[in-house]
Structure 1
Amino acid sequence: MQVDKIRGHQTEQLIEAVLALKDKEEAYRFFDDLCTISEIQSMSQRLEVAHMLRMKKTYEKIKNETGASTATISRVRRCLNYGNDAYDAMLERLYPDEKPFELPKD
């Protein structure tokens, strides 16, 4: 599994902390303390890029609407195509009524 490369004591502690969050407000406070605004915005942007890729939006439209670079869009697309399917799992939970589609493999 690809996630083995990030496993370790510190990462384990972080994952446990995220799983222990009780509600959205607590999550906002935790991430505000843990991350810079830029880091939070980058993670949020990547999730939105993944959502837009799943909805068959073009790179140009994604770039214009999110401000993401084409390098970021390409990286997210690689994760959608060859990653751990985590983006898909989370987006299916966030948007259960949307019909997912199969991204063409490069």
Structure 2
Amino acid sequence: MQIEKIRGHQTDQLFKAVMELKDVEECYKFFDDLCTISEIQSLAQRFEVAHLLRLKKTYETIKKETGASTATISRVRRCFDYGNDTYDEMLGRLYPDEMPFQAAKKK
């Protein structure tokens, strides 16, 4: 499990701060101070790639719609196959009416 590689006081502090954010506007302000524009865009792009994979879009469609490389798309896909299921969980909360991703888990 990769979680242990990032676990620690500093990461706990960051995650607790994120959990204290009150609304989207506060998130924009916090992440603007915390990250570069490029870092925020990369995170947002990965999440959109996850959304499109969940909708069973092809790599080509995802590449066209997001500008993501096939390496990024593959990385996100591996998270669906072998990760902690949180992309699907979060997307399910944001879009409860959408059909969930049906990947065969190989854990």
Task: Tell whether the structures are fold-level matches, with TM greater than 0.5.
Answer: yes
Amino acid across the alignment from 2:35: C
2:11 aligns with 11
- Whether 2:88 is the aligned partner of 1:91: answer no
Identify the residue that residue 61 of structure 1 maps to in structure 2: 61
CA positional deviation for 1:14? 0.4
Aligned counterparts of 1:70 and 1:99: Cα–Cα separation in 2: 23
1:29 aligns with 2:21: no
Summarize deviations over 1:37-81 as a string: whole Å, max 9, x none: 000000000000001001110000100110000000000000011
Could you tell me how far 1:5 is from its partner in structure 2?
Answer: 1.4
Q: How many residues align?
A: 106
Look up the equivalent residue of 1:57 and give its one-letter code. K
Structure 2 equivalent of residue 46 of structure 1: 46
Aligned-residue identity in percent: 75
Which structure has the higher relative contact order (CA within 8 Å, separation 6+)? 1
- Aligned alpha-carbon RMSD (Å): 1.4
Q: Which runs of 5+ in 2 are unaligned?
A: none
With normalisation by structure 1, the TM-score equals 0.94
CA–CA separation in structure 1 for the residues paired with 2:9 and 2:105: 35
Q: Secondary structure at the match of 1:28?
A: helix
Unaligned ranges ≥5, structure 1: none
The runs of at least 4 consecutive aligned structure 1 residues that moved more than 4 Å come to none
Secondary structure of the residue aligned to 2:100 is coil
Q: Secondary structure at the match of 2:98?
A: coil
Tell me the SS of whatever aligns to 1:97. Answer: coil
Counterpart in the other structure of 1:74: 74
Q: Is the 8 A contact 1:51 1:91 kept in 2?
A: yes
TM-score (norm 2): 0.93
